[in-house]
Amino acid sequence: MKIYLRKKEYENLYTKLKHGPRFIQAIIGPRQTGKTTLILQIKNNWKGPSFYASADEPGYGNKDWIIGLNNNAIQASKKEKKEALLILDEIQKIPDWSNILKYIYDKNERDQSRIRIVILGSSSLLMQRGLTESLTGRFEVNRHSHWSYEECKDFFKYSFKDYLYYGGYPGAAKIRKDHQRWHAYIRDSIIETVISKDILLMNPVTKPVLLRQAFALCIHHPAEILSYQKMLGQLQDAGNTTTLAFYLHLMKNAFFLVPLDKYSGSRIKQKSSSPKILSLDNSIINVINNRTPLEAFKDPTYTGRLLENAVGARLYWLTQEKGFEIFYWRERNYEVDYIISAGNRLIAIEIKSGYPGKSKAALDVFSRKYGNIKKVVISLKKSKNSDDINHLQAEEFFLNPEKIF
């Protein structure tokens, strides 16, 4: 059986664990994307004592469980005279876990114990909350995204159309040839699990029906700009824009969808704008819209939405990795699909499912308003670069997204 190594994520985390301060390494990201598999691969290659424990196992549940594991790691480290690796999975299931880890981390630092700690869990919402509540200055976040096109192409032999339709969940990729089974897996193991366990069960959601309706509405309009008022007008349950914005925030932290702000150069105006909705994986769109691959690619408008959403999702993960920001821009009849703010640079990106010739006008208007920018057009059709616009074919972009820089 072929074992796939997410090389980039592996090397980044392994380097942090072998060099520099012994910060707690927190792995967060969407469910079912191989986070536990990756950390077990690191454990198997660790040159020293290593320990893996999951809070799903019998006998977990309190402060003594974590402290005991840490003490075992300390003893093994002293005996072998090497750094020990301690991996704690499903950490969010331990009551008061962040304060316990704070105590352990500080004690290890005072005693100069050679322990490297990695934490991960299926509920990224609870993970992120615990990190910010108690562990300030003691951790580094490792964001693991959905699988890229390059990974899916290499491991699952995806075509580019496969990636636009089936997305980047590796478990689902293995059963994609059985459409009914694939559809049920995404619906039950991904969508329903995240909504029920990660969002509704663990957060103060007073209107669960409204949250579910909002999720479905957003996924029916991927890569589209939707005002909060327009959304509320199409929802059956009563609510207000503040509640709706909060629910979208929860879905963002659960790695389901991202509401992008409009770029204006002003923080206040950006935060008050109508959001552009991104689903972070195209499989969610196709399941919620109940489209087969044949139906999806027979409709040029729908195909265009899939392409624009997939590009936006990959750009979002790229900006998270680089510490940049991503927006959209619209003024009167002119719209630029994505704006990346990279330090003091702006990159304006247009997505075209057909020929890219009509992209220039909006890019020129944006450029005149905000000065010297980099202009990029990503399209299904191959086109030559013009004097001031860099043209990328979509498949070329997905194989190397950093080309936009």
Name the pTM for this structure: 0.92
% of the chain exceeding 70 in pLDDT: 95
Quick one: pLDDT at residue 142?
94
Integer Cα distance of 181 and 315 in angstroms: 30
Domains delineated in the chain? 7-143 (3.40.50.300), 205-404 (no CATH)
Q: Higher model confidence: residue 62 or residue 200? A: 200
- What are the pLDDT digits (tens) for 344-369? 899 999 999 865 555 688 999 999 99
- Computed over its alpha carbons, how large is the radius of gyration of the chain? 22
Which pLDDT value is given to residue 383?
74
* The predicted structure's pLDDT at residue 271: 61
CA–CA separation, 313 and 38 (whole Å): 22
**pLDDT value at position 356?**
55
Report the candidate in 154, 33, 150 with the shortest Cα–Cα distance to residue 398: 150
- 42 vs 35: CA distance, rounded Å: 11
Give residue 97's identity as a one-letter amino acid code.
W
User: Going edge to edge, which strands form the sheet with 345-352?
Assistant: 325-331, 334-342, 345-352, 374-379, 389-393
The pair of three-digit structure tokens given for residue 231, joined into one six-digit string: 């959304």
For residue 205, give every residue at least 6 positions away whose Cβ sits within 8 Å of its Cβ, in sequence order, or none. Answer: 199, 211, 247, 250
pLDDT for position 55? 85
Query: What pLDDT is recorded for position 234?
Result: 85
Distance in angstroms (rounded) separating the CA atoms of residues 275 and 260: 5
> Interior CA angle at 222 toward 217 and 226, to 5°?
60
H/E element holding 211?
A: helix 208-220
* Tens-digit pLDDT profile for residues 226-244: 999 888 888 876 678 888 9
Q: How many angstroms separate the CA atoms of 203 and 217, rounded?
A: 21
Helices (H), 19-136: 35-44, 63-80, 97-111, 124-134
Structure token digits, residue 243 = 């509640």
* Angle made by CA atoms 55, 56, 61, in degrees to the nearest 5: 45
The mean-pLDDT minimum among 86-95, 110-119, 172-181 falls in 86-95
pLDDT digits (tens, 9 = 90+) for 275-294: 999 999 999 999 999 999 99
pLDDT of residue 128: 79
- What is the pLDDT, as a whole number, of residue 354? 67
Q: Give the pLDDT score at 240.
A: 84
The yes-or-no verdict on residue 132 having pLDDT over 90 is: no
3-class state of residue 274 by DSSP: coil
Contact 62, 33 (CB under 8 A): no
Q: What is the DSSP letter of 356?
A: G
Give, in degrees to the nearest 5, the angle at Cα 271 between 265 and 272: 105
Cβ-contact 288, 216 below 8 angstroms: yes
How far apart CA 153 and CA 161 sit, in angstroms, is 11
Percent of the chain with pLDDT over 90: 72
CA dihedral defined by 56, 61, 67, 68, rounded to 10 degrees? -70
**Between these two residues, 356 and 204, which has the higher pLDDT value?**
204
pLDDT band at residue 60 under the 50/70/90 scheme: low
